[in-house]
Structure 1
Amino acid sequence: MVHEWQSQVVKNCGRPAFGDKFVCSLRDTEVEKSTLKLEVQCFDKYSRNAVLGEVRVALRDLKASQSLVLCEELQKSTKDVVGEVLVSLKCLPISQRREVGLLKAKTAPPCSTANKNVHARIDVSCRRHKQKPQKSRPRAHAPLIVFNETFLFHMPEPSAWDCTVLVSTCEADSDPRHLIGQATLGNTRASDAADHWHLMRKSVQQPVAKRHPLLI
């Protein structure tokens, strides 16, 4: 992601008009491979914003030297793969805990030349009950980030198998928080994430590591 902006919030309106303007500079080579993504969200200050839809336009298809007005229908929002994260899971039934090991992450290098740090946040929820999130130590933003940290979460039976683990990588010193990508693990997730969860159940007290895509 090269640039990211957020418009003002328009309240209580079925046909909102924003009037925001955003400016960025791109080289010709960047224009050829860049896509403009417009995402409309339903704002909720107490929880995560619900995504209503998106519009994507390849910049190479536009005449950048002219002022354009686009009118497109919102499409179902999709996620983009921006990297991958290597995570280990370990079941500790005697202590009723699950160990989440954050090993490595591969991401695109930062767009600017400024030195930036990255941290990861681990969120665990069991049957809609969220446990206190835990954060990694900051690491330098690089194509390969080595964390090598473990996090313990209390997961009493039998609800432990209905849990979801969310791994979020963010720029540590940006305001507002700049999300790099997220990976979701759990029994009810896509096949790869579910396979990892099943292997953890079979390998009691042994860590099982697997790579998962970082999405945004």
Structure 2
Amino acid sequence: MTQGISGLLFIQGHPLPVSDIWKYGMLALSVFLLLVALIILTCQLCECQKASTFGKERKHSSENWNGIRQENGFKGKRSVTSRLDIAQQPYHAIKVQRVQRELKKLGVYFSPPSTSSNAVGHLGSDMAAPDRSQGKLRFSLLYNRKRLELHLTVTEALGLSSQGCTKTFIQAKLLSCVSSQTPDLQHVAHEWQTQVVKNCSSPTFGDQFVCTLQETELAKSSLKLEVKHFDKYSRHIPLGEVRIALNALKTSQSLEFCEELQKATKDAVGEVLVSLKCLPISQRIEVGLLKVKTASLCSDPEKRIFARIDVFCNLLKQKHQKSKPKTLAASTVFNETFLFHLPESIVWDYAVLISIYETDSRGRQLVGQAVLGKRGPNDRNDHWDRMMHSIQQPVAKWHPLLI
């Protein structure tokens, strides 16, 4: 034990000798590792320099390509936007066609926006439409003087247009003049509708309708028969109409008629007092519903009416607003205002649609509609122009309710 301890002390006090070969070998190995590290570092620096040079060349080529595309009249962003526009075009086209079809049923026409500029077409009426539609309507009338009843039999429609005869029905309205002082103001005394016939250009109906009618009312009553295309989700499209005055039905003989369809027209059933106010700073328009006059013969406390206001901006329909229900009377006062935010400048094409509905226990029924806009015909255009010349001041005017 003592010998081992003494041996260790001897080793610590006298280090072992190392040969020169090992010394030079370790030095050469250190130099070799240093050279390898320098080579790796040099390679990494070269790769970084190549990458930066390639990026600059790619950026330069991209700028040159963008310059060439700009010289040809388009940019990269525009191409992406155009692709998005093309992808969204079918849905937008369908939506525009739907709004155009809805406005067409109201007698208002927007021309589609131009693709080459921001100009928008005018708002007008169908004054250039033909006075006569395609097809005929066959029906019969009988007035029973003893029972004071009017009998209507709708037989068939002949030679309708193949484009609008997929689902066809006849809507009949018995119109009565309210007073001799206002012969243009009509009252819908009775309304009927036939069955819907599908996929036939000459549909056969055979529906019969009866109503009570005093003999003294024959002179101021007329019958309006409208051939319409049935639309489940929107307003029915009129294909033509026939009007017959009932002042000749004073005998108890059945009269057969086969009349050619004329262009569908609307009848005035009342008036609505509307105010318009332009707010250009906040880019809004204020529509005021002041008073409604209807052609009702008497007031009914059980019936109530309300108004729905729709604003169309360049073929885009804004969110509609409704008024509070009021008791039906010959003259109903509302005095309500509705604010609409306009997505575009007020100088663009706009149309305001006011629909008056009548409600009772059976549901709601359309009383009439008034349409006014920026470039509407006659009084509609005049009201809009007066609003544009009276900034932030309300301008009120009476408009006819049509149905």
Q: TM-score, normalised by structure 2?
A: 0.51
Query: In the comparison of the two structures, how many residue pairs are matched?
Result: 216
Q: Secondary structure at the match of 1:198?
A: helix
Give unpaired runs (5+ residues) of structure 1.
none
Moved over 6 A (4+): none
1:154 to 341, 346, 362: 341
Greater Rg, structure 1 or structure 2?
Answer: 2
Distance 2:258 2:361 in 1: 33
Is this contact kept in 1: 2:299–2:329, CA < 8 A? no
Partner letter of residue 215 of structure 2? Answer: D
**What do the CA deviations read for 1:111-161 (whole angstroms, capped 9, x no partner)?**
685631111111111122111221111111111110101111111333663
- The whole-number CA distance in structure 1 between the counterparts of 2:298 and 2:198 is 33
Letter in 1 for 2:194: S
- 1:131–1:43: structure 2 CA closer, same or farther, 3 Å change rule? same
Which of these residues, 291, 297, 306, is aligned with residue 119 of structure 1? Answer: 306
Give the alignment's TM-score, normalised by structure 1: 0.92
Aligned to 2:249: 62
- Are the counterparts in 2 of residues 106 and 144 from structure 1 also a CA contact under 8 Å? yes
The CA distance in 2 between the partners of 1:24 and 1:141, in whole Å, is 24
Structure 1 residues 125 and 182, CA gap change in structure 2 (3 angstroms): same
2:379 and 2:326 mapped to 1: Cα distance? 27
Contact 1:126 1:159 in 2 (8 A): no
Partner of 2:145: none
- What is the percent sequence identity of the aligned residues? 65
Unaligned runs of 5+ residues in structure 2 are 1-187
Contact in 2 for aligned 1:84/1:211 (Cα 8 Å)? yes
Is residue 2:301 matched to residue 1:107? no
State the 1:3 CA deviation: 0.7
Distance 1:137 1:156, change over 3 A: same
1:2–1:111 contact (8 Å) kept in structure 2: no
Equivalent residues of 1:107, 1:143 under 8 A apart: yes
- RMSD, aligned α-carbons: 1.9
Show the 5 A alignment for 1:47-196: 47-63=234-250, 65-110=252-297, 115-158=302-345, 161-173=348-360, 175=362, 177-196=364-383
Change (3 A) 1:38 1:148: same
1:41 — aligned with what?
A: 228
CA 1:181–1:64 in 2, change beyond 3 Å: closer, same or farther? farther
